[in-house]
Amino acid sequence: MVSVISAIVFTVFFFFVLSVYFIEMDMRAARKKKRLKKLAGTQKETPSSQSRKIDHSGSHLIDVIGRIINLAFIESILVSADVPITIDRFLAISLGTGLFTIAPVMIFTRNPFVILLALVAGFAAPMFYVLHLKKKREEVLLKQLPDTIDMIARSLRAGQSVDGALKEAGASMPDPIGSEIRLIHDEMLMGLTFETALRNFENRFPELSDVKILSTAFIVQRETGGNLTKILENLSRTIRERFKLRMQVKAQTAEGRTTLTILALIPFVFGIVTWFLNPRYVSLLFNTSSGKKLLLIALILEILGIVTMKKLTRLDV
């Protein structure tokens, strides 16, 4: 038993060090690329993560995982969150956090179900963090979008072309919208059509309807003609009104979301407290067949309750 625990501790420590090393190497490469771009005379860094391709032809482990998990979906999330790590390193970090999570759990229990649950929770922790970064980045981008549209409209009114207006907006606006506009302009310079560059921008944020509206407005105007400046001004006003309405809905549903959080945490907090006060009482859920069935039913009902309350407190505007 001592040798098994020692092997697990060594494996956990190895993957933890490997994860830290991968993160540091990716950050160092990103900083080096940024310095090279500045020396080359570019205005700002174009996020390399948005032009990444999934390349794991030489990794058998990634090939096996790719048959189980949709790697393209994970890659799209990493791109949207602008996380400068590759897919294989992200999976290595996830595996490291999963093993790191089960180490303290094995000190208190040898139950396979609890250990597996801890492993899954630790493995999913980096993904939840990346989803959090993605959501924050999308919120900032939505706030910056009306000002960016206004700047493009002013540049067009001053007589600049669409390419020049995009270049000016990309150089003037802060990230993340600035880097996205610069990426659109750079893709056009590399030979991609204006529609393709806008579709790529739209695909990087598939959940943002405002981005889709902006891309559609540009494409339709280029195909059918019309006053682009007037279209952009109306679009900017519409996006501001949608954002204001979204904030009002968020404020009015704050009570329901708080209730959802409290009700979702109560069973887990009660279970942990009971575990420390009377471990035998809680161990019945893990050591008996009827207890495992009841625990599975409770988890299913908990998930259904969370999904139902999120549907009730969510309004799409």
pLDDT at 50: 43
- pLDDT tens for residues 250-269? 888 888 888 888 988 898 88
Residue 13 near residue 84, CB atoms below 8 Å = no
pLDDT at 38: 43
Cα separation, 172 vs 166, whole angstroms: 10
Q: Which of 102, 98, 121, 97 is nearest to 112 (CA)?
A: 102
- pLDDT tens for residues 16-53? 565 566 666 666 665 555 554 444 443 334 444 444 44
pLDDT at 46: 40
> Residue 44 carries which DSSP code?
S
CA distances, 133 to each of 49, 91, 137, 192 (Å): 14, 17, 6, 29
- pLDDT tens for residues 114-167? 788 888 888 888 889 999 999 999 889 988 999 999 999 888 888 888 888 888
Q: Which residues of 176-189 are buried (b: 16+ CB within 10 A; e: fewer)?
A: bbbbbbbbbbbbbe
- pLDDT tens for residues 57-67? 445 555 666 66
| CATH superfamily placement of domain 139-249 | Type II secretion system (T2SS), domain F (1.20.81.30)
| Mean pLDDT, all residues of the chain | 78
Domain boundaries, given as residue ranges, for the chain:
2-136, 139-249, 254-312
